[in-house]
Structure formats: structure tokens, C-alpha cells
Amino acid sequence: MLTYQIMKKETLRLYSCIIPSLKRWKLFISMLWMIPGLALILYGGIKMPVEELKSWGIFIWIAGITLIAIGLIPYKKLISLENNPHALVICAENALYFLVKDKQKMKIKLTEIEKVEFFKASRRYGIFMKLKTEEKNIFFPLFTERACKTLKTYLDS
């Protein structure tokens, strides 16, 4: 219901974006976990005698599948975020909403925003916001430099 109300009077909507280098890095990290899992399963299936497989086979298989599954979790989360991106929405009521899976996680009045900057350090990037009240700093991850420039332009006008 709240999301519908936000969408009804929104003036600007920015989406998070996964850059290709981050995607490649997550896939590389996933492979570091998946390769030992696959090697364990293959070793057990090829090198171990049948008598040992009768007692150890299920444990080897479970350990290998577990390593493969652990390796796929970070990449799956990234792909899920790519399909359902986070959003920064500015409404006519002069408020900025942070939406995760179309549910409001945060609301900031535009008058509280002191400074907006793009932050990038290796594979971490996003919009960094400094607020006037309470000297708080907020970081919105995975928003591109273009989204930051769009937000700055809107806030300056």
C-alpha cells in the first residue's frame, strides 16, 4: 500500500546497478568455493575403492555439494539484486525513500540532506549522503556515478 502511494506522487526514481567487474569478481569468488567441491566429488568417485565409498561416499557427496552451494550463494544474491534492484525515490512531498524489494526501508526529508557524493573503493561503490541533523552519514550501495549525478542535479534545482 505504501509503495503504491509513493509511486503515485514520485518525481524521480533511481535504481541500483551491478557493474560487470563486480559480477565477474563474485563469479570468481564463487568458483574458488565450487572447484574444491567438484574436485572432492570427482576424487571420491574416481579414486576411492567401492568399499570405502560405501561408508564415506555419502559424506563426500554432501561435503562437495555443500561447498558448491556455499560458492553459489554470493553470486545468486547479486543476480537476485540485479533482477529486483534497490531504488531511491523522491516524491512530491520533498522526501527521499530508500526501497528494497519495493518495501520502504528509510525515509529522509530533502531538507536534511547536506551533501551527496559518489563513493568508489575497489568493488564497493554507491551514493554517500551526509545529513545536517545528528551528523549522520548514510551509504546507499550499488548506485552508479550517473545515478549520483542525477540525484545531485535534482537536489540542486
Q: Where are the domains of the chain?
A: 2-17+85-156, 20-82
Q: Residue 1 has what pLDDT?
A: 45
pLDDT at 153 > cutoff 80: yes
Q: How far apart are the first and last CA of the chain?
A: 30
Q: Are 152 and 115 in contact (CB under 8 A)?
A: no
Q: What is the pTM of this model?
A: 0.78
pLDDT at 22 > cutoff 60: yes
The percent of the chain in helix, strand and coil, each rounded to the nearest 5, is 55, 30, 15
Would you identify the CATH topology of the domain 2-17+85-156?
Answer: PH-domain like (2.30.29)
